[in-house]
Amino acid sequence: AQSVTQPDIHITVSEGASLELRCNYSYGATPYLFWYVQSPGQGLQLLLKYFSGDTLVQGIKGFEAEFKRSQSSFNLRKPSVHWSDAAEYFCAVAYSGTYKYIFGTGTRLKVLA
Amino acid sequence: DGGITQSPKYLFRKEGQNVTLSCEQNLNHDAMYWYRQDPGQGLRLIYYSQIVNDFQKGDIAEGYSVSREKKESFPLTVTSAQKNPTAFYLCASSSPRLNTGELFFGEGSRLTVL
């Protein structure tokens, strides 16, 4: 079955430190990959997406992600975290010709002042 | 501004009652979705609709029903058959024809069964 794994349930970083959130997907076909962010009690906001082309994609709020086909990964990075980045982050995958999006279980980010 | 509107934001229900959550979009999107979110479980697909008057079950459709009579609207009914309905419900839409692929989400509705 198709699945998305976010191995880190919680991550805590200090403000100004770098961040990497991990995401792996299970299916080998060409995926559409997404990272979303969710503040408590809110909907999800798209940070960035990968469909094709350059495997390093830039998103909003200073985030970037790199698609590595050989590792079936799409890790999210930010060079310097701000306190306002504290939220829950979801990785998702979809496949061409389908209408189904598969979400990981999320990583909750805590930022220390 | 275009977007997705969910209502109500908070809803309380007694056991045995059906409740309907509203989802309206003005993005002119063809596809609409309902997800359920529980702590530590990510988002699970309840139903989705690719076009008016057509919808498909997702992974956890039991105890839920939907309709898609208009392109803009995709209401979700949580029936008394749903054994554990307390959760956060998210509506989303997408426009595959534009090949953007991403989901746009509403702000969610939190249902609590008393």
User: pLDDT confidence of B100, banded at 50, 70, 90?
Assistant: low
Across the interface, do B101 and A44 touch by the CB < 8 Å criterion? no
- The answer to whether A97 faces chain B, any CB pair under 8 Å, is no
Domains in chain A: how many in total?
1
> Has residue B35 got a pLDDT over 80?
yes
Question: What does the pLDDT average to over A62-76?
Answer: 95
Cβ distance B96 to A99 less than 8 Å, yes or no, reads: yes
CB < 8 Å to B110, chain A? 41
Report whether pLDDT(A98) > 80. no
CATH number for position A77:
2.60.40.10
Condensed to tens digits (0 to 9), the pLDDT of residues A29-65 reads: 778 999 999 998 899 999 999 988 889 999 999 999 9
User: Are A44 and B103 inside 8 Å of each other by CB?
Assistant: yes
pLDDT at A52: 84
Q: What is the mean pLDDT of chain A?
A: 92
Which structural domain range is residue A58 located in?
A: 4-112
Amino acid B99: pLDDT = 55
Question: For chain B, what's the residue count?
Answer: 114
**Residues of chain B in Cβ contact (below 8 Å) with chain A:** 4, 6, 31, 33, 35, 40-43, 45, 48, 50, 56, 58, 88, 90, 92, 94, 96, 101-108, 110
* Comparison of pLDDT for A66 and B41, the residue scoring more: A66
Q: Across residues B32-44, what is the average pLDDT? A: 92
Is A105 near chain B, with CB under 8 Å? yes
Mean pLDDT on B52-71: 96
Q: Is B55 in a helix, a strand, or coil?
A: strand
Question: Do residue A43 and residue B105 have CB atoms under 8 angstroms apart?
Answer: yes
Q: For residue B77, give the 3-state DSSP assignment.
A: strand
Q: What average pLDDT score do residues B69-79 get?
A: 97
Of A41, A42, A101, the CB nearest to B103: A101
Q: Are A17 and A80 in contact (CB under 8 A)?
A: yes
Partner-chain contact A105 B102, CB within 8 Å: no
Count CB-CB contacts under 10 A for residue A75.
17
CA distance A5 to B96: 25
- A95–chain B Cβ distance below 8 A for any pair: no
Residue pair A68/A80 in contact (Cβ under 8 Å)? The answer is no
Model confidence band, residue B67 (pLDDT cutoffs 50, 70, 90):
very high
Contact A44 B48 (CB under 8 A): no
Q: Which of B43, B94, B107 is the closest to A103 by Cβ?
A: B43
Name which residue leads in pLDDT, A33 or B101: A33
Percent of chain A with pLDDT over 90: 75
CA A6 to chain centre: 9
The average pLDDT across B81-109 equals: 87
Confidence at residue B95, expressed as pLDDT on a 0 to 100 scale? 81
Residue B98 — very low, low, confident or very high, per pLDDT cuts 50/70/90?
low
HEC profile for chain A? CCCEECCCCEEEEECCCCEEECCEECCCCCEEEEEEEECCCCCEEEEEEECCCCCEEECHHHCEEEEEHHHCEEEEEECCCCHHHCEEEEEEEEECCCCCEEECCCEEEEEEC
